[in-house]
A and B are shown apart, each in its own frame.
Chain A
Amino acid sequence: MKKNIKYILFILIFISGDIFIGYVLSVLSKKQKYDNRIELILENKIEADVVIIGSSEALNDYSPEEIKLNTGLSCYNLGQSGSNPIFHETILDLVLKSAHKPKLVIYNVDDYAALYTKSGIVFRKDVLYPYVDNPFICKKINSELGKNELATNISYTYRQNVNFINALKYLLFGKEKPDARTTNINSFGATLVDKKGGDEHTVFEMNNINLSVLRMNLDYRNSILNIQKKCSENNIQLLFCLPPQFRKSTKGFKNRIQSVIDSTYQLIDYSNSLTEAAYFSDQEHLNKDGATYFSKLISADIKKIKI
């Protein structure tokens, strides 16, 4: 009897410890993150008519504030640096699960990284880690990391273990310091970069990517098709944009991406619409002035869409 009580006590302490550690990790990791846009989606706090999704170009190149001023439509930027189309689809899924569905989704297309594997462009699971309590996100993380579903459901610590290092970082250094290019999110979700001008000597460097030798990433392609399907099913307008570039576009890429986009959706090519170095922070990203200017341009096209 005494032995049994000992074992029951051991199990109870273990379960309590598991819940406690998991809870602490969850709370601290959320506090550590500067960029809390995923939390805002999950808490239904994003009530925007227009939502922008994509990678760093989406994050840096679009000023939702400017779009709102010019179109009268509320706008929010959900771009995430270094993210791939599979991640963009996940973001759209989260938006569609929230209480407020947008009227228009602007999908910023990365030159060749939208359909081809490119180093540094990944499924940003680290962005989702603090919100692993959400069943949809938990499932995504499990499949990305090969985590055991049953163990994730049983142990709170195991489910939250992806947040261990970030929780420690919060304890050691406090809240994450925003990065000027990737996480310095303003109240409209965008990160507008102050840096002006690119290196004059590298600006019009030839883009030597030869698409014919690259194999199309079918998962990326499927995600772009899924994004269209999901927008269609939810009666959401979808606009594909190739943003301004301070370099030459990849030869043939526009045709490739066009072939993946349904004819009912529009792909607008802005890649040559801005040419002054003063509008760019580097070859691929606009700075604040560039984003403001470009947002005016895109606002004019948004106005033409029946929303």
Chain B
Amino acid sequence: MFFVPVYILILAFTIIVDYLAGILIEAAPQNKKGIYLQLSLVANIGVLCVFKYYNFFTENIEALFQSLNIHTYKFPFLSILLPIGLSFHTFQAMSYTLEIYKGKQKAERHFGIYALYVMFFPQLVAGPIERPQHLLSQFYINQKFEWSNIVKGLRLILMGLFKKIVIADQINVLVSFVFDNPENSKGPSVYLALLFFVWQVYCDFSGYSDIARGSAKLLGIDLMVNFDLPFFAKSFNSFWSKWHVSLMNWFRDYLLFPLIRKRWKWQLVFLFVFLISGFWHGANWTFIAWGVYNGIIVIYTKATSDYRKELINKTWLKNYSSIRHIIQAICIYHLFAFGGFFFRSKNIHDSYILFLNMFTDVGDSLSKIWHNPNNMRQNLLYLGTDFTTFTVLILFVAAFFYFEWKLRNTTLDEYLERVPQVMRFGIYFFAAFSIMLMSNIVETPFVYFQF
């Protein structure tokens, strides 16, 4: 990460463009609104394309022409850094002009308030991607100090730091051990790394969202819930309505619904939306593949939903909803985890190697884990750590999972208000001391900062 002050101009550019576009869209007659909207979208997507996708496009165009043996113009390589959170605040800015265009939001006349909407510090770098209706109006509330806001905010920050420092950062060591050495990682190690990767990315990103929401709450501002316990969802489709909610809602409202209204085939719409969602994450084929993978799974689960329900009704499982839910959760967890082959690998080749290696030397690796020759269990099972570190991590994950399970039908605040005071303070102590014990042992930047 680097601090380049001049990059503030990118933000300034999108803020000025969208501020003016908002006023112009509102003032323009119906038949002219679209022009201003398009100008605003082109400016925003243009910034994204230059800073995030330019090198990816030019490299691939060149590679395509080279493979066809056609000599073409050599595009210059742009040695620029990707501004932190670019995809997030650009999408938030776009939702502002889109909502005005739809007539659901009035144009903001106060430049400072609008700039704050784009640059509101807690969610500037990694969301949640807010809608103007929800956030802009809150900036007009005359905030007063409220102790309950401080308590709620600090609770969220504590929860977020726990997820990030105690779980995500520590798991990163194990996951990197496999994904940074795809050739040497075999059988159960790859499988374990995939399972851990889910926890890493979930705790990393939802941890950030909690910290963002908590920081905003301290100022009296409510940000939307970005992760709604996605791993307790009952289907893969419902999982995606609980994972990175603000982005998925953005795609739903501005891409999925309009395409369905244009009578595209629903399968094609879902595939397209997930492909774009993958591409949003990064200018790499791995993210595109990840998007397509998830799109295919969603289409499959949606298409076979009735058939699977019928199938379940014919088995003993129909009477055991809890067992059914556990099986569903395990399936969702694994389906998402296998997407990690693409999401976490450096390139498609590494994904392919890891996929093949997961089925290689399985018996041999299991035998080595059992018999532990030359302390091989350390690499194969503990993924480069040792028994103690691995066990501590598993216990932290288990404790966190148990806590999330407790929250499945309630909110963090409701749960903490309900439990006895001793237990509430016990949870605070446990979280605070766990953070203090694990912080700076391993430190990893937030995964979603790169997007």
B-binding residues in A (CB < 8 A): 10, 13-14, 17-18, 21, 145-148, 155, 157-158, 161-162, 164-165, 168-169, 172
| Contact flags B431-443 to A (C-beta < 8 A → 1, else 0) | 0110011111101
Q: Per a CB cutoff under 8 Å, which of A145, A146, A164 touches B437?
A: A164
Q: Per a CB cutoff under 8 Å, which of B386, B429, B439, B443 touches A158?
A: B439
Q: Per a CB cutoff under 8 Å, which of B392, B425, B433, B437 touches A10?
A: B425
A17-B429, A172-B388 known; A146 vs B440 contact (CB < 8 Å): yes
Kindly provide the distance from the CB of B438 to the nearest chain A CB, expressed in whole angstroms.
Answer: 7
A10 cross-chain contacts in B, Cβ below 8 A: 425
Q: Is B389 close to A, CB under 8 A?
A: yes
Bound complex: CA A161 to CA B436 (Å): 7
Kindly provide the distance from the CB of A47 to the nearest chain B CB, expressed in whole angstroms.
Answer: 36
Question: 5 closest A-B pairs (Cβ-Cβ)?
Answer: A158-B436, A147-B440, A161-B437, A157-B436, A145-B440
Contact at A168–B440, with CB atoms within 8 Å?
A: no
Bound complex: CA A200 to CA B437 (Å): 48
Kindly provide the distance from the CB of B431 to the nearest chain A CB, expressed in whole angstroms.
Answer: 12
Q: Per a CB cutoff under 8 Å, which of B425, B432, B440 touches A161?
A: B440
Bound complex: CA A145 to CA B437 (Å): 14
Bound complex: CA A146 to CA B1 (Å): 15
Bound complex: CA A158 to CA B439 (Å): 8
A21 cross-chain contacts in B, Cβ below 8 A: 433, 437
Kindly provide the distance from the CB of A258 to the nearest chain B CB, expressed in whole angstroms.
Answer: 38
Kindly provide the distance from the CB of A155 to the nearest chain B CB, expressed in whole angstroms.
Answer: 6
Contact at B389–A165, with CB atoms within 8 Å?
A: yes
Chain B: CB-nearest residue to A3: B147
* A to B contact number (C-beta, < 8 Å): 42
Given contacts A146-B440, A165-B388, A165-B389, 4 further A-B contacts (CB under 8 A): A18-B433, A145-B441, A145-B443, A165-B392
Bound complex: CA A128 to CA B291 (Å): 46
Contact at A162–B441, with CB atoms within 8 Å?
A: yes
Contact at B443–A146, with CB atoms within 8 Å?
A: yes
A18 cross-chain contacts in B, Cβ below 8 A: 433, 436
A146 cross-chain contacts in B, Cβ below 8 A: 440, 443
A147 cross-chain contacts in B, Cβ below 8 A: 440
Contact at B429–A14, with CB atoms within 8 Å?
A: yes
A17-B429, A17-B433, A157-B433 known; A168 vs B439 contact (CB < 8 Å): no
Tell me how many residues of B have a C-beta within 8 Å of chain A. 15
Bound complex: CA A76 to CA B389 (Å): 34
B386 cross-chain contacts in A, Cβ below 8 A: 165
A10-B425, A17-B433, A21-B433 known; A161 vs B388 contact (CB < 8 Å): no
Kindly provide the distance from the CB of A158 to the nearest chain B CB, expressed in whole angstroms.
Answer: 5
Kindly provide the distance from the CB of A275 to the nearest chain B CB, expressed in whole angstroms.
Answer: 30
Kindly provide the distance from the CB of B119 to the nearest chain A CB, expressed in whole angstroms.
Answer: 26
| Contact flags B205-222 to A (C-beta < 8 A → 1, else 0) | 000000000000000000
Interface-central residue, B388, B392, B441, B443, by most chain A CB under 10 Å = B388
Contact at A164–B441, with CB atoms within 8 Å?
A: yes
Chain B: CB-nearest residue to A159: B436
Kindly provide the distance from the CB of B421 to the nearest chain A CB, expressed in whole angstroms.
Answer: 9
Kindly provide the distance from the CB of B382 to the nearest chain A CB, expressed in whole angstroms.
Answer: 12
A162 cross-chain contacts in B, Cβ below 8 A: 441
Kindly provide the distance from the CB of B159 to the nearest chain A CB, expressed in whole angstroms.
Answer: 18
Chain A: CB-nearest residue to B147: A3
A155-B436, A168-B388, A169-B388 known; A161 vs B441 contact (CB < 8 Å): yes
Chain B: CB-nearest residue to A6: B421
Bound complex: CA A286 to CA B67 (Å): 55
Bound complex: CA A21 to CA B429 (Å): 12
Name 17 interchain pairs, CB-CB below 8 A, sorted by A: A10-B425, A14-B429, A14-B432, A145-B443, A146-B443, A155-B436, A157-B436, A161-B436, A161-B441, A162-B441, A164-B392, A164-B438, A164-B441, A165-B389, A165-B392, A168-B392, A172-B388
Bound complex: CA A155 to CA B437 (Å): 10
Bound complex: CA A147 to CA B436 (Å): 11
Bound complex: CA A260 to CA B432 (Å): 48
Kindly provide the distance from the CB of B34 to the nearest chain A CB, expressed in whole angstroms.
Answer: 50
B389 cross-chain contacts in A, Cβ below 8 A: 165
Contact at B392–A161, with CB atoms within 8 Å?
A: no
Chain B: CB-nearest residue to A161: B437
Kindly provide the distance from the CB of B417 to the nearest chain A CB, expressed in whole angstroms.
Answer: 16
Kindly provide the distance from the CB of B423 to the nearest chain A CB, expressed in whole angstroms.
Answer: 14
Bound complex: CA A87 to CA B174 (Å): 27
Q: Which positions 176-209 of chain B face chain A at CB distance < 8 Å?
A: none
Chain B: CB-nearest residue to A21: B433
Kindly provide the distance from the CB of B368 to the nearest chain A CB, expressed in whole angstroms.
Answer: 21
Bound complex: CA A147 to CA B443 (Å): 10
Chain B: CB-nearest residue to A22: B436
A14 cross-chain contacts in B, Cβ below 8 A: 429, 432
Contact at A161–B443, with CB atoms within 8 Å?
A: no
Q: Per a CB cutoff under 8 Å, which of B437, B440, B441 touches A157?
A: B437
Bound complex: CA A168 to CA B429 (Å): 19
Contact at B439–A161, with CB atoms within 8 Å?
A: yes
A161 cross-chain contacts in B, Cβ below 8 A: 436-441
Bound complex: CA A267 to CA B433 (Å): 50
Bound complex: CA A25 to CA B392 (Å): 15
Kindly provide the distance from the CB of A295 to the nearest chain B CB, expressed in whole angstroms.
Answer: 32
Q: Which positions 399-451 of chain B face chain A at CB distance < 8 Å?
A: 425, 429, 432-433, 436-441, 443
B388 cross-chain contacts in A, Cβ below 8 A: 165, 168-169, 172
Kindly provide the distance from the CB of B30 to the nearest chain A CB, expressed in whole angstroms.
Answer: 56
A169 cross-chain contacts in B, Cβ below 8 A: 388
Bound complex: CA A38 to CA B403 (Å): 42
Kindly provide the distance from the CB of A105 to the nearest chain B CB, expressed in whole angstroms.
Answer: 32
Bound complex: CA A155 to CA B392 (Å): 22
Bound complex: CA A118 to CA B432 (Å): 38
